[in-house]
Amino acid sequence: MLQLQTIRENKESIITALKKRNIDAAPMIAAVIELDEKRRSIQTELDGILAESNKLSKEIGQLFKSGKAQEANALKDKTAGLKETSKQLGDDLNATAAALQEQLYLIPNVPHTSVPAGNSDADNEEVFREGDIPTLFEGAMPHWELAKKYDIIDFELGVKITGAGFPVYKGKGARLQRALISYFLDKNTAAGYTEMQVPHMVNEASGYGTGQLPDKEGQMYHVQADDLYLIPTAEVPVTNLHRDDILAESDFPIKYTGYTPCFRREAGSYGAHVRGLNRLHQFDKVEIVRLEHPNNSYQALDEMVEHVKNILRELKLPYRILRLCGGDLGFTSALTYDFEVFSTAQDRWLEISSVSNFETFQANRLKLRYKDENGKSQLAHTLNGSSLALPRVLAGILENYQTENGIKIPDALVSYCGFELID
């Protein structure tokens, strides 16, 4: 959520910056300023009435002490009217403040200056590419056919138990999945991230805190009886660990990693691009989250990008990095880099990670602050990244490492798996 003071002081520059998202933010900004002025006006009037009421209460006490009951009672009638007025103004103030908050929730984050203009993922900017795309043998298969051939993932059994998008991992497939989770966590903790195990359901305040609500409400599974949401990513519970906290500058950087299943009610579609592991309603992911001093957050973003690069280098998967354009940028992000691994059997790039800096956008919702050198409260910066999302990494491994005699296991994972070949 953008800070109200920032909107008031930088109205035109914010409207211009949000054009990169292909949004005409002028009406939303105007509505915010109008509601804020209304709120201020009501607050001023209410403060005046409360001050007058307090003054009259003191006068009434003095009049009763002086034996002037008739005059005191006359003033009491006046204070009763002021009390009724103040109650109505208080209700108006609360309603206006709530409307202002809801309007602020509708405005996305301002893109960083380096974010390219564009309408969709077709306009994202490739900034890095590494790794050799293997040449596969004749008859090489996409991962969903490999999964069936080697009996390592059963999509039909998942449909039987739950529905489409909920696969069952079997045998060496399950062990490879577990190996990836352990490998990612070990890489992250070795880089200074503290491992956290967090709940897989969150309350509404947590959803609002990181910006999933109200923007992505339709994509989240909602347990209505308890008013809880299944998490779409570990980013939500992990970042909310510090909701309403006031940190010291010496606390930075705060670095967390966590493994969780993730649940997303994404709209269904058909075709090879969503087949097999390409798009799921439940999937596993290891996340990294950082809380940073504003002066250091973009250096931290670069470090996170390098960290994910190193993991992919060890797995020896061909990948590229995209800087997302304004039209493809997430609602809460100021700058996002997407990692994509090349799926040789599908002849296409698969997104496997997003690494983002949200600047103060989430922190403002979370009321996540720190005390600066002058003892003044300031908003922290928050960042997060996938390190990594498992389904498409697994798909990339199965497809790129397949041979005529089976699927080789990347060297970095052999000690975690306990085997070198799926056959």
Other C-beta atoms lying within 10 Å of the C-beta of residue 24: 11
The annotation status of 265 as a binding-site residue, yes or no, is yes
Distance of alpha carbon 358 from alpha carbon 205, whole angstroms: 18
The annotation status of 351 as a binding-site residue, yes or no, is yes
Q: Both 179 and 311 in a single domain?
A: yes
Q: Both 137 and 39 in a single domain?
A: no
> Does a structural domain hold residue 219?
yes
The annotation status of 119 as a binding-site residue, yes or no, is no
Distance of alpha carbon 422 from alpha carbon 4, whole angstroms: 56
Q: Both 63 and 186 in a single domain?
A: no
Q: Which of 74, 106, 138 is the last residue of a domain?
A: 106
Q: What is the DSSP letter of 199?
A: -
Q: Which of 65, 80, 106 is the last residue of a domain?
A: 106
> Does a structural domain hold residue 112?
no
**Average pLDDT by stretches of 10, the chain with 423 residues:** 96 97 97 97 94 83 78 77 91 97 97 96 97 93 97 97 96 98 98 98 97 89 96 98 98 98 75 81 97 98 98 98 98 98 94 97 98 96 97 96 97 98 97
Q: Both 166 and 294 in a single domain?
A: yes
> Does a structural domain hold residue 111?
no
Per-residue pLDDT at 78: 80
Q: Both 352 and 393 in a single domain?
A: yes
- Give the rounded distance of the alpha carbon of 233 from its chain centre: 8
Q: Both 84 and 128 in a single domain?
A: no
> Does a structural domain hold residue 279?
yes
Other C-beta atoms lying within 10 Å of the C-beta of residue 216: 18
Q: Both 188 and 257 in a single domain?
A: yes
Q: Which of 106, 130, 161 is the last residue of a domain?
A: 106
Collapsing DSSP states into helix, strand and coil, what is residue 47? helix
Distance of alpha carbon 92 from alpha carbon 86, whole angstroms: 10
* Structural domain boundaries enclosing 64: 4-106
Distance of alpha carbon 423 from alpha carbon 421, whole angstroms: 6
Q: Both 131 and 76 in a single domain?
A: no
> Does a structural domain hold residue 115?
no
The annotation status of 243 as a binding-site residue, yes or no, is no
> Does a structural domain hold residue 96?
yes
Q: Both 185 and 74 in a single domain?
A: no
> Does a structural domain hold residue 116?
no
**Is the separation of the CB atoms in 111 and 17 below 8 Å?**
yes
Mutual angle of helices 171-190 and 297-315, in 10-degree steps: 140
Q: Both 329 and 201 in a single domain?
A: yes
Per-residue pLDDT at 56: 83
The annotation status of 59 as a binding-site residue, yes or no, is no
Q: Both 159 and 228 in a single domain?
A: yes
- In DSSP terms, 256 is beta-bridged to 194, 289
CA-based nearest residue to 169, from 177, 181, 161: 177
Per-residue pLDDT at 52: 87
The annotation status of 357 as a binding-site residue, yes or no, is no
The annotation status of 152 as a binding-site residue, yes or no, is no
The annotation status of 287 as a binding-site residue, yes or no, is yes
Distance of alpha carbon 366 from alpha carbon 255, whole angstroms: 17
Per-residue pLDDT at 267: 52
Q: What is the CATH number of the domain that holds 136?
A: 3.30.930.10
Burial state string for 158-173 with b = 16 or more CB within 10 A and e = fewer than 16: beeeeeebbbbbbebb
302-354 confidence digits (pLDDT tens): 999 999 999 999 999 999 999 999 999 999 999 999 999 999 999 999 999 99
> Does a structural domain hold residue 29?
yes
* Amino acid at residue number 215: D
Q: Both 62 and 148 in a single domain?
A: no
The annotation status of 264 as a binding-site residue, yes or no, is yes
Q: What is the DSSP letter of 402?
A: E
Q: Look at the chain and report how many structural domains it folds into.
A: 2
pTM for this entry: 0.93
Q: What is the CATH number of the domain that holds 19?
A: 1.10.287.40
